[in-house]
Amino acid sequence: MSAAAAKNVMAAGGFLLDSSVWVAARSPKEQFAEAARELVLDGGRRTAALDLTLYEVANAIGAKRGDALGAARACRSIELRCGRDFVRVDAGLMEATADLAVEHGLTAYDAAYVGVARRYDWQLVSTDIEDLVSRGFAITPDAAV
């Protein structure tokens, strides 16, 4: 995405970062780590997250890597970074999630991100090439910076 296009996306609503972006930002060896870190740290970019993101990040960093403190810090920073753009699940989102999952063969987790991005007119950003990016539901972090 060009700088001009990124500015238009920000004006339209901002970037919804899925858990893979938040994890990549804390994992220098992962693909897209540098761009993910830039998205997470740049306070000039409007970023959003779901409450689901906290569970996924805690699982990836805490449970899988054995870093409970790092997981807790990451989750706190997500809430602080997103502020008013931190979305909590509601009945309408669950209904949209189920519909999207069935219609597009997505997991409920991926469908929740797609549903929120659509609801708020945010650009979904993910490192999930197979399920989200290649199917046009999201862009990669490097395309967003």
Task: Please give the pLDDT value at position 2.
Answer: 41
Residue 9 confidence (pLDDT) above 60: no
Task: Please give the pLDDT value at position 12.
Answer: 60
Rounded distance between C-alpha atoms, residue 86 and residue 30, angstroms: 25
Over the Cα atoms of the chain, what is R_g? Answer: 14
Residue 23 confidence (pLDDT) above 80: yes
Tell me the CATH class for 3-140: alpha beta
More confident residue, 107 or 12: 107
Domain extents in the chain: 3-140
Average pLDDT across the chain, whole number: 92
